[in-house]
Structure 1
Amino acid sequence: MRIDLVTIFPQYFTALDLSLIGRAGQSGLLDLRVHDLRGWTTDRHHSVDDAPYGGGAGMVMRPDVWGRALDEVLAQDPRVDEASTLGARRVLAIPTPSGSPLTQAMAEDLAGADHLVVACGRYEGIDQRVADYYRDAGREVVEYSIGDYVLNGGEAAALVLVEAVTRLLDGFMGNPESLVEESHSAGILEYPAYTRPRSWRGLEVPEVLLGGDHGAIRRWRQERAIDRTVERRPDLVEALPARLLDGAAREHLASRGYAAAETGARPLAIRPARPDEAPRIAALARRTFPLACPDSLPAEAIEDFCRTELSDESFDQMLADPAAHRILVAQVDADLVGYTLTVLSGPRGLPDGLVGGRIAPGAAYLSKCYVDEAWHGSGIAGALLEEAVVDVERTGAASQIVLGTNEANTRAQRFYRRHGFSRAGRRVFVVGGVENRDVVLVRKLTTAVPR
């Protein structure tokens, strides 16, 4: 790759002789050249600027000087082999506070160019006609900014661009894997890093990094990367496509208040249901219950169950009795998209078939954990489930939480096992006159104190 830097302060770029960029130049991977803009002036004072039309403070860099410089530099072949210059991609980059933000995606794109020319403005900037002229002439022009602040000139921003782009060139990094997990490469910030000594000024390296469990380390790093991004750069989260995250990452993101979606994460609230929300929760329940029903269950039986067990009145009664019925909802924007219903059995006991040797007396019963079909795979269900478990633990009313899921629904069984549930048996029950068979699963609660 060839990079030409045009500036009135050529000495500013001596730093590029150092470190990996300097080595890339020595090895021939990078052809880096610095030009003094004043070499294209025609007056004895080597003037590169003049007063702005329309008045105002400061000076503006002249388009005629820049035009002569850029005509010459852009015309130079970026590669030695003349045949290979056909179709070469040349880009004119102009740092300016009014430009598009420089992103990792932009750097990755520019790393594919053959020739990058950076025009470093000063004073009040370069006459706008320079960018307009070359763009109108069919040149690829990128006006970019490195942040919402103003510098004395474009040289610092040029240094940033050169480093961001060149480190992505094949062969530049000694260990190319170091590019994979760094900040912005996957749309989120990088996880925190630690090295020796293990203990420093009373601060310890997280224990998970010392155990050698690579799966646990990967999950920890992924979660910490998400945490950092949520806390420091929510704008990145809201632009993050769901396809860049695996299932565990989506669940963790949901636990931090964002639901993964294809166009970017959406703000998510998981909270206790309000008494006035019975009709909305009932409608959600009637929408989602059929999604988990086996094919063997007739539509009439499903409709009968929805009508009798998932009515507005049923949810009215449960919401009026939070000591026995715990209902949490997931809300995206103004929409309720998921809910859990947990019954604190107490003296009422568990439903028939949910009592067994592995199930403690008074165990809580997770009756419902459903999410609208449009939000399947978003991580909401996992975050909802974990919040329901924490909610029961806070009550101190049970030492276990138990549930039943249809034996044919292996996806649901895998979901619950990932969340710490283990098989405790089977049960048979009737819905609408049709016999159903469930796998019974149980999870021990860690902080509850049984009554």
Structure 2
Amino acid sequence: MNGRIDIVTIFPGYLAPLDLSLVGKARSEGVLDVGVHDLRDWTADRHRTVDDTPFGGGAGMVMRPDVWGTALDDVLLTEADSRTLVLPTPAGERFTQAMAEELALLVCAGGQIAFACGRYEGIDARVAEHYANRDDVTVREVSIGDYVLNGGEVAALVITEAVARLLPGVIGNPQSLVEESHGSAGLLEYPVYTKPPTWRDLDVPEVLRSGDHGRIGTWRRARAVERTARRRPDLLARHAPPRVREAKAIDAEAIADVAARTFPLACPPHLNDADAGAFVAEQLDAAAFRRYLRSRDRDVLVAEVAGAVVGYAMLVRARPTAPDVLSAVSAETTAELSKCYVLPEHHRTQVAAELMAGTLEQARQRGVRAVWLGVNQSNERAQRFYRKHGFTRVGTRQFTVGNSVESDYVMERTLEP
């Protein structure tokens, strides 16, 4: 037999939304079999009583186990390949997309999900205990969030829709399930846009109107990672550890996007936006990074999270020539850590540390004995980061950004062979 979903409640009308939208269409076309049952049909008195006062005293009423037991014995199908009894409760395990996928597979395999929608102070605890002790029923107490509702019907609707839309034939375009929030990649979905291209002085991003599907895919992945890092960093920590690798020519535009966002953050407060912007346009655009990637004396590494570039570092393998730097560093210094930037939403994660570790390892493999860098004297956060990774201050230098001459500290680290 095909799998099915059954919902037992004292308010069958509450489940009317199951006749609407894609779930309703799936039911009418026989793709999804859902039964809604009135618990009061299994009562034995003329008042159709489903509850009574709690043992031990206390406010509210508790739903009776004898009524629930009679109902569930009838609703749980002996011919189903498997039976899962779901009890919605704020005390249950957290409902997730992974659980929705698990329950959908159960239904696809001919199993049954039965919801027992409690009300008042809940269902007598012996109901869950009894069915959990049966070998032919799996009991799951499930919460849809850290809050309390008047009953389990809303949770049953939520879980049913989340499960139903994963069943074959319910969603018209299966690709929609791949790219949405909380999918297999563990990311929140990227922002979406439609016509008109300009609305209330807000434009659709140019890349989405370019027709370049490669750029569009890269942009969407980057925005999904950015949104997840800002709103749900726990998802990235759980599903997407950072990865450091050598950059490729195809990464030039993504690196330039990171550079455009990060370079101004490292500049001193007094530096005007025009000078910072001019420096980015001249030294850190996609064309510049393509040149850097072709250079034999430069190594560019990127930090990726879930396939999106979120940081980069550049190692220039050459003895410094500027007199103020040359006089400060040791004779062994043969490379400059020219760039090391990570997007701000990934600060306070392992991304920057992994990027630094990967860059220093690259330097070792290239035979570099010592590395120097320049960091603006007002950027205390960056200085702390570099000290943490073994760099010490050895001098100062002048660095020009646009029309502004800035003072940097020169820091150096010797590498173990």
Aligned to 1:94: 87
Q: Note the alpha carbon deviations across 1:273-299, whole angstroms, 9 max, x for none.
A: xxxxxxxxxxx99x985653348x6xx
Structure 2 length-normalised TM: 0.64
- Seen in structure 2, the aligned counterparts of structure 1 residues 97 and 249 have a Cα distance that, compared at 3 Å, is farther
RMSD value over aligned CA atoms? 3.9
Measure the CA separation in 2 of the matches of 1:48 and 1:100: 26
- Seen in structure 2, the aligned counterparts of structure 1 residues 196 and 343 have a Cα distance that, compared at 3 Å, is farther
Measure the CA separation in 2 of the matches of 1:340 and 1:160: 56
User: Does the Cα contact within 8 Å between 1:329 and 1:340 map onto a contact in 2?
Assistant: no
Between the two proteins, the alignment pairs up a number of residues equal to: 308
Aligned to 1:19: 21
Aligned to 1:409: none
Aligned to 1:196: 195
User: Does the Cα contact within 8 Å between 1:61 and 1:123 map onto a contact in 2?
Assistant: yes
User: Does the Cα contact within 8 Å between 1:92 and 1:117 map onto a contact in 2?
Assistant: yes
Q: Which one of 308, 314, 321 corresponds to residue 248 of structure 1?
A: 308
Q: Note the alpha carbon deviations across 1:378-429, whole angstroms, 9 max, x for none.
A: xxxxxxxxxxxxxx8599459xxxxxxxxxxxxxxxxxxxxxxxxxxxxxxx
1:122, distance to aligned residue in structure 2 (A) = 0.5
Consecutive unaligned residues in structure 1, runs of 5 or more = 79-87, 260-265, 272-283, 347-363, 365-391, 399-430, 432-451
Aligned to 1:418: none
Aligned to 2:103: 110
Measure the CA separation in 2 of the matches of 1:343 and 1:218: 44
Q: Which one of 141, 152, 162 corresponds to residue 164 of structure 1?
A: 162
- Secondary structure at the residue paired with 2:239? coil
Aligned to 1:48: 50
Query: Quick check: 1:215 aligned with 2:214?
Result: yes
1:158, distance to aligned residue in structure 2 (A) = 0.5
Aligned to 1:60: 62
- Seen in structure 2, the aligned counterparts of structure 1 residues 61 and 215 have a Cα distance that, compared at 3 Å, is same
- Seen in structure 2, the aligned counterparts of structure 1 residues 342 and 216 have a Cα distance that, compared at 3 Å, is farther
1:188, distance to aligned residue in structure 2 (A) = 1.7
AA aligned opposite 1:146: I
Q: What are the equivalent positions in structure 2 for 1:24-423 lying under 5 Å apart? A: 24-78=26-80, 88-113=81-106, 114-138=111-135, 139-185=137-183, 186-242=185-241, 245-249=305-309, 251=311, 255-258=343-346, 267-268=349-350, 289=360, 292-294=363-365, 305=369, 309=370, 322=377, 330=385, 336=388, 393=401, 396-397=404-405
Aligned to 2:271: none
Q: Which of structures 1 and 2 has the larger relative contact order (alpha carbons within 8 angstroms, sep 6+)? A: 2
Q: Note the alpha carbon deviations across 1:40-73, whole angstroms, 9 max, x for none.
A: 1112211111111221111111111111111111
Measure the CA separation in 1 of the matches of 2:67 and 2:342: 55
User: Does the Cα contact within 8 Å between 1:242 and 1:250 map onto a contact in 2?
Assistant: no
Q: Percent identity?
A: 51
Q: Note the alpha carbon deviations across 1:150-174, whole angstroms, 9 max, x for none.
A: 1111111111011000100112111
- Seen in structure 2, the aligned counterparts of structure 1 residues 36 and 327 have a Cα distance that, compared at 3 Å, is closer
1:258, distance to aligned residue in structure 2 (A) = 3.5
Quick check: 168-177 or 69-78, which moved more? Answer: 69-78
Structure 1 length-normalised TM: 0.59
1:109, distance to aligned residue in structure 2 (A) = 0.5
- Seen in structure 2, the aligned counterparts of structure 1 residues 289 and 5 have a Cα distance that, compared at 3 Å, is closer
AA aligned opposite 1:166: A
User: Does the Cα contact within 8 Å between 1:4 and 1:116 map onto a contact in 2?
Assistant: yes
Measure the CA separation in 1 of the matches of 2:232 and 2:351: 19
Consecutive unaligned residues in structure 2, runs of 5 or more = 243-303, 313-340, 407-414
1:341, distance to aligned residue in structure 2 (A) = 9.9
Measure the CA separation in 1 of the matches of 2:153 and 2:310: 40
Measure the CA separation in 1 of the matches of 2:75 and 2:140: 16
- Seen in structure 2, the aligned counterparts of structure 1 residues 47 and 254 have a Cα distance that, compared at 3 Å, is farther
Measure the CA separation in 2 of the matches of 1:256 and 1:203: 24
